Amino acid sequence: MNAFLAIDLPALLAAVLATVACGTLGNWLVLRKESMTADAIAHAVLPGLVAGYLVSGSRSMGAMLAGAALAGVASVLLSAAIRARTRLEAGAVLGVVFTAFFALGVVLLETQGARQIDLDPSCVLFGSLETLFVAAPEGGSWLAGVPGEIWLLAAAAVLALAFHALLAKELAALAFDPLHARLSLRSPRALERALLAATSAAIVASFAAVGSILVVALVACPALIAAPHARSVGGQLSLGLALSIPLVGAAYFAAAHAPSLFGTATALNAAGMIAVLLVAAVPASHGVARVIRRLA
Partner 1 sequence: MSATAPPLEVVHLRAGYVRDAWIVEDASFALAAGSMTALVGPNGAGKSTLLKAVLGLAPIVRAERVAFFGGDLDAARARVAFIPQRSAIDWDFPATARDVVAMGLVARIGLFRRTGRDALAAAERALDSVGLLGMAREQVGELSGGQQQRVLVARALVAEPDLLLLDEPFANVDAASEAHLASVLRARAARGSTVLAVHHDLRSVRAHFDEAILLNRALLAHGPVAAVLTDARLAEAYGFVGVTSAERAPAARAGEAEARA
Residues that bind partner 1 (CB under 8 A): 31, 33, 87, 166-167, 169-170, 172-173, 175-177, 179-186, 227, 230-233, 235-236
CA distance 260 to 272: 17
Judged by beta carbon, residue 173 or residue 245, the one nearer partner 1 is 173
CA distance 109 to 235: 43
Judged by beta carbon, residue 180 or residue 257, the one nearer partner 1 is 180
Q: From the CB of 230, what's the least distance to partner 1, in Å?
A: 4
Judged by beta carbon, residue 49 or residue 282, the one nearer partner 1 is 282
Which residue intervals of the chain are DSSP H helices?
3, 9-31, 36-44, 46-56, 61-85, 90-111, 121-126, 148-176, 178-184, 188-226, 233-261, 270-295
Instruction: Indicate the residue type of 253.
Output: F
Burial of 152 (0-12, 13-18, 19+ CB in 10 A): buried
Judged by beta carbon, residue 209 or residue 230, the one nearer partner 1 is 230
CA distance 98 to 196: 14
Instruction: Indicate the residue type of 271.
Output: A
Contacts of 266 (CB under 8 A, 6+ apart): 259
Judged by beta carbon, residue 1 or residue 166, the one nearer partner 1 is 166
Q: From the CB of 20, what's the least distance to partner 1, in Å?
A: 20
Judged by beta carbon, residue 236 or residue 269, the one nearer partner 1 is 236
Q: From the CB of 168, what's the least distance to partner 1, in Å?
A: 8
Q: From the CB of 196, what's the least distance to partner 1, in Å?
A: 18
Q: Which of 199, 154, 191, 152 is CA-nearest to residue 171?
A: 191
Q: Which of 213, 197, 208, 210 is CA-nearest to residue 160?
A: 197
Q: From the CB of 296, what's the least distance to partner 1, in Å?
A: 12
Q: From the CB of 193, what's the least distance to partner 1, in Å?
A: 15
Judged by beta carbon, residue 144 or residue 165, the one nearer partner 1 is 165
Q: From the CB of 183, what's the least distance to partner 1, in Å?
A: 5
Largest Cα span, the chain? 63
